[in-house]
Amino acid sequence: MKVGICGLGTVGSGTFNLILKNNSEIERRIGNQICVAQVGCRRDHPDCDLSDVHVTRDVFDVVRNPDIDIVIEVIGGIDVARALVLEAISNNKHVVTANKALIAEHGQEIMVAASEKGVQVKFEAAVAGGIPIVKAIREGMAANKVEWIIGIINGTSNYILSKMTESGGSLSFVDVLKDAQELGYAEADPTFDVEGIDAAHKLTILSSIAFGAPLRFDAIFTEGITQITSDDIDYAGELGFVIKHLGIARNQGDTIAMRVHPCLVAADHMLAQVKGVMNAVVVGGDAAGPTMYYGAGAGSLPTASAIISDVVDIVRSSGANIVENLGFEKSALISKKVVMVGEVVSRAYLRLIVSDQPGVMARISTILSQHKISIESLIQKNARAGYADVVIITNAILEETLDIAVRKLSTMDDVKNDVKRIRIADFFNV
C-alpha cells in the first residue's frame, strides 16, 4: 500500500522520518515496507529529505491521487481537515488522523461515510499521543463491559498544576503558564488546553469507543484550571490531596456521565504521581478491574508512533469489516443520554474567604446542614487582616444541591468573593 502524508509540521515530519528510520522493522511485522508516495505541504520541513518523494503544495492532490491507498491527515484544524478526510473516503482511501477535534466534533459523519465506502478511519494518535489507549480499550478490553474512564489527558494543564504543586506555593498559574509557553508546552493562545477543550475532545473519543455510544462532544461538561491558585494547591496538600485536571466518564446503564474539570486526587493514588507533560488513563472494566496506561501525551515521535501503528493495522486488516472504526458494529451503537453535571454525585472542596468574626462558622454550617451537606474536613486560617480562609471537604452530594448551597454561601455578608469549588475524584465511585 502507498501512503500520502497531508501536512509536514511537527507531527507530519516526525511520521515521515520515523517511517524512513524504522521501515525495516515495520517490514518484519507486516511483510512489506510502507511507501510514502506523496507529501502535501505548504512548505518543506528542514529535517525531512524529500528528494525521492512527490511533493505537492495542495493537500487535496494527495487524496485525489489514484495511487494513494492510505491518507495520513496531520494538517490540524477542523474545516479543511473535514473536507480533506471526507474526500479521501469518497475516493476509497483509508484515513489515519491525529486530529482529536475533527473526530470529536465530526466523527459520526466521518464514520458513516467510511462504513458506506468500506474503508477504515484510524485515530490512535488523536488521544494521549504515544499511549496506545484506543487500541487498549477497543481491543484489549473487548471482553469487558467498560464501567468508567479517568484520565490526565492534557499535558499542558498537567505541567502547570505539577509545577505549581512542586513550587510550594511560590508560583502562580500565570507564572507557570508563561514558563510553559517559553518551553513550547503551551501555545501563545493556550485556551484549548487550560480551559479543558482539548481534554474534552479526547474524552469524547474515549467514551465512544469504551461505551459503544455515538460521539457527543457537545454534551461534555468542561471546566479549565485558570481559577486554581497556589492557596488551593497548598490547602489540598494539607488535606492529603493533589489537584489534577481530569477527564472522567462513567457508563451508568441507560446514561453516560462525562466531565472535564480540576479534581482533588488522593496523594497516594497513581494518578497523583503523574507529573509534568505526561498523560495517564485509568480504565475500569468489569472483568479486568482498573488498568492504567501511562506515557507521553504529545510530541513529534510519540504521536508519529501512534500514527504508524494505525497504518500497520490497516495494512494487516485491509478488507476486514470496517465498522470496527469505533470498536462496535454499526448497528450496535446505542444512543445514550448524557447526564447533566448537576446529576452527578461527588465530594467537594470549598474555599471561602470570610470575616474573622464569631458566629460565621455557625452560619456556614447552618446553610450546609439545610441542604444535608456535612463537613468531613475543615481548615481555618487567618489569612489576612480581618478575614480568614475556611476550607471545607464535604460529603458526597448531588451537584445541583451543592450548587444551591454554594450560591447561598456566596450571598452571605460575611463571605468575601465567590466560593471556590473543586470536585474530588473518588476513583471507584465516579
Strands, E, within 165-237: which ranges?
221-222
* pLDDT above 90 for 193: yes
The reply to whether 339 falls in a domain is: no
CATH (domain of 420): 3.30.70.260
Q: Are residues 103 and 160 in the same domain?
A: no
**21 carries an active-site annotation:** no
Question: Is 198 part of any domain?
Answer: yes
Q: For residue 321, what pLDDT is reported?
A: 42
Same domain, 124 and 140: no
Percent of the chain with pLDDT over 70: 95
**How many residues are there in the chain?**
430
Do 152 and 267 reside in the same domain of the chain? yes
Domain CATH number, residue 39: 3.40.50.720
Is the whole model's pTM more than 0.75, yes or no?
A: yes
271, 296, 321 - which closes a domain: 296
Distance, in Å, from the CA atom of 60 to the CA atom of 419, rounded to the nearest integer, reads 52
Task: Identify which has the larger pLDDT, 169 or 108.
Answer: 108
pLDDT band at 5 (very low <50, low <70, confident <90, very high): very high
CATH code where residue 227 lies? 3.30.360.10
Specify if 321 maps to a domain: yes
* pLDDT tens string 18-36: 999 999 999 888 888 889 9
Same domain flag for 260 and 377? no
Question: In this predicted structure, what is the pLDDT of residue 299?
Answer: 86
One-letter amino acid identity for 358?
A: P
Whether residue 308 is found in the same domain as residue 407: no
What is the tally of structural domains in the chain?
3
Please indicate, yes or no, whether residues 247 and 320 belong to a single structural domain of this protein: no
**Top-confidence residue, 259 or 329:** 259
User: How far, in Å, CA of 373 to CA of 394, rounded?
Assistant: 7
Does residue 383 have a pLDDT over 70?
no
d(CA 70, CA 91): 11
- pLDDT one-digit tens code per residue, 91-127: 999 999 999 999 999 999 999 999 999 999 999 999 9
Q: Is 272 inside any structural domain?
A: yes
Residue in this structure with the C-alpha cell 467498560, named with its chain if needed:
146
Task: State pLDDT tens for residues 324-353.
Answer: 566 665 666 678 888 888 888 999 999 999
- pLDDT of 143 higher than 60: yes
The answer to whether residue 74 sits within a structural domain is yes
Are 174 and 254 contained in the same domain?
Answer: yes
Cα–Cα distance, 417 to 398 (Å, whole number): 24
Annotated binding site: 6-13, 100, 187
Residue linked to cell 497531508:
6
Which residue numbers belong to the known binding site for NADPH?
100
Are the CB atoms for 224 and 234 separated by under 8 Å? no
Percentage of the chain modeled with pLDDT above 90: 77
Query: Which range marks the domain in which residue 257 is found?
Result: 133-296
Residue 253 has a pLDDT of 85
Half-sphere CA count of 11, side-chain side, radius 13 A: 26
pLDDT at position 176: 96
Question: Once rounded to an integer, what is the mean pLDDT over residues 399-414?
Answer: 94
Query: Does residue 193 share a domain with residue 145?
Result: yes
CA distances 111 to 4, 174, 178, Å, are 20, 40, 39
User: Binning pLDDT at 50, 70 and 90, where does residue 323 land?
Assistant: very low
Q: Is residue 334 part of a domain?
A: no
Average pLDDT for 378-405: 90
- Cα 220 to its chain centre, rounded Å, is 12
- Residue 335, domain member (yes or no): no
pLDDT tens across 226-244, in order?
999 999 999 999 999 999 9
Tell me how far apart the alpha carbons of residues 94 and 78 are, in angstroms, rounded to a whole number: 18
102 shares a domain with 230: no
3 state SS of 287: coil
Type of residue numbered 42: R
Same domain, 228 and 350: no
Residue 163 has pLDDT above 70, yes or no: yes
Residue of 122, 163, 202, 420 marked active site: 202
| Residue 31, pLDDT score | 84
List the beta bridge partners of residue 282: 150, 292
User: Do residue 108 and residue 205 come from a single domain?
Assistant: no
* Confidence at residue 6, expressed as pLDDT on a 0 to 100 scale: 97
List Cα–Cα distances, 11 to 46, 114, 299, 303, 318, in angstroms: 14, 24, 7, 7, 25
Are 268 and 312 members of one domain?
Answer: no
In a domain, 336, yes or no: no
Higher pLDDT, 112 or 384: 112
